[in-house]
Structures are given as C-alpha cells and as structure tokens.
Amino acid sequence: MIDPISRPARSAQLRPREVAERIKQYILQNRLGPGDALPTEAELCAAVGASRSSVREAIRILTALDIVEVRHGYGTYVGTLSLAALVESLTFRGLLSRDDDFRVLAELVEVRQTLEQGLAAAITTALDQDLHLELGRLADQMDERARAGKTFIEQDREFHLLLMKPLGNELVTQLTAAFWDVHAIVAPALHTTPASVRETVAAHHAIVEALFARDLDGFTDAVAAHYAPVRRHLKENRGL
C-alpha cells in the first residue's frame, strides 16, 4: 500500500524542487533504502500530489543528486546516496579560475588533515594487522613508483580510504573519497618537485610506522608531514 504524504491537494503550481522535496519525504516516511523500488509514476503522482510533468522533472533533479536512480525498462529506485554532487560542485568551483583553484585546494587540505588527525585515536585503536600490512604494501608501492619517476595516484587514494575502513563509518569513508577526488583534480595546477614527492612518500611510511607502534602523536605528526608539501606549494604560489 502506498502511503501518501500529508499535503494539500495536487497543485499545478508546484515547482519541481518542491516536488523533489516531497519525493524525499516519501522515501523517508516509507523507510526506503538504497536499491528499493519507488512506485510507478502514476502512483508517485498520487502520493506526492503533483502532476506527471512535475514528478518527471523532480526525478531528474534527484537523479543528478544520486538520491534516485532511473533504470530504463525497469523503473525508478532509491539511489546509492553518494557524494557525487559534492565532488562535481567543488571541482567546478576549483576549475572556474586559478584563484579559486588554489583556494579550494587549500580548504580541502585543511579539511582532510583535520578529519584524519581528529580521528587519529579511533584509527590507531581500531586498525587490525591485515589492514596495517596492506597500508605498508601501498606505501612500498608508492616508493617504488616514485623512484621510477611514476605517479602513485591510485595507491594514494586507496591508502587514505583504508585508513578510514576500520572505523566502519560509511559517511566518513565517502567524505574521504570525495575530498580526495576533488584534491586530485585541482592539485595538478601546483608545481611539484622530486623532493616534495619523496617527502610525501616518506610521510606515508611514517603513518604506517606510527600505526604499528600505536603512537598517536607520531600518527598526528605524520599526517601533518603528509600535507606539508602541498601547503608549502600553496604558500609559494598564492600566499595561502
């Protein structure tokens, strides 16, 4: 049975964003989760009190936000609720101009460092031996690739996501991935040097060593050292 939302009678004056809010309320009130099917278009119109055209436009808005997913030939479902919209917004802001590029990157560095240092105690307590070995393997791969003059973007991303894995907090993991992805897109505007690359690799090794020793202060210092090169480049380029 479809539970209609307690709303005034259908109105042709409803704007798409108002209808989108009603659909979000419908999802919450019916306790639908990612992957659950929404009712048919006609049923959804009745449930939220809106016209077909308004519902279709609202679905387009919610699809762009990953709140719903349209599977052509099958129906409409609750989406994965990812942070793709956040990534797109921050990336676009960062790429609008060089000044915004550097400012967005400076803000991202601040947030990423604060997040990892703020969770230092939980990470060092929860990390198990298998994940510690995997982090060490990734740090070694970064070292090998740096010595060969290659980038280590994939290894770096996986490293920082693994740091958050033992926390079991999906939102923290998604935020970490989102901030890393934006960072990777806007960071190329900065000039890096072989010395700064080696410094970054050494910081990853230091993070692994601090985790092995359950050294909270060492972990916090190593995280700061990891972001030091990009902070320095930002200061040199824009005085940030």
The CA-to-CA distance between both ends of the chain, in Å, stands at 57
> How many residues belong to the chain?
240
Residue 234: pLDDT band with limits 50, 70, 90: confident
Out of 26, 45, 78, pick the residue that ends a domain. Answer: 78
151 in the same domain as 165: yes
Is 146 contained in some domain?
Answer: yes
pLDDT tens per residue across span 14-41: 788 899 999 999 998 999 988 899 999 9
Structure tokens at 172: 């923290």
Q: Residue 10 pLDDT > 70, yes or no?
A: no
Contacts of 110 (CB under 8 A, 6+ apart): none
Give mean pLDDT, residues 141-149. Answer: 95
Domain count, the chain: 2
156 in the same domain as 65: no
Mean model confidence pLDDT for the chain = 85
- Give percent above pLDDT 90 in the chain: 52
Question: What residue type is assigned to position 97 of the chain?
Answer: S
Q: Report pLDDT for 180.
A: 87
Of the candidates 212, 221, 231, 232, the one whose C-alpha atom is nearest the C-alpha of residue 139 is: 212
Q: Residue 108: give its domain's CATH number.
A: 1.20.120.530
Q: Residue 22: give its domain's CATH number.
A: 1.10.10.10
Q: Report pLDDT for 84.
A: 67
User: Where is 68: in which H helix or E strand?
Assistant: strand 68-71
Give mean pLDDT, residues 206-229. Answer: 95
Question: What residue type is assigned to position 195 of the chain?
Answer: A
Q: Residue 239 pLDDT > 60, yes or no?
A: no
125 in the same domain as 35: no
108 in the same domain as 21: no
Is 95 contained in some domain?
Answer: yes
139 in the same domain as 115: yes
Q: Report pLDDT for 91.
A: 62
Q: Report pLDDT for 114.
A: 95
Out of 78, 109, 126, pick the residue that ends a domain. Answer: 78
pLDDT tens per residue across span 96-124: 555 555 777 888 889 899 999 999 999 99
175 in the same domain as 150: yes
Query: Would you state the torsion angle of the CA atoms of residues 152, 146, 201, 130, taken in this order, to the nearest 10 degrees?
Result: 60
Domain boundaries, position 122: 84-238
Is 5 contained in some domain?
Answer: no
Residue 64: pLDDT band with limits 50, 70, 90: confident
> Reduced to 3 states, what is the DSSP secondary structure of residue 77?
strand
Question: What residue type is assigned to position 180 of the chain?
Answer: W
pLDDT tens per residue across span 73-90: 889 999 876 766 666 666
Residue with tokens 């921050």: 90
Query: For residues 226 and 113, what is the distance between their CA atoms, to the nearest angstrom?
Result: 9
Q: Residue 159 pLDDT > 70, yes or no?
A: yes
Is 7 contained in some domain?
Answer: no
Eight-state DSSP code of residue 189 = G
Structure tokens at 87: 């990534």
Q: What is the pTM of this model?
A: 0.67
Structure tokens at 80: 């994965």
Residue 215: pLDDT band with limits 50, 70, 90: very high
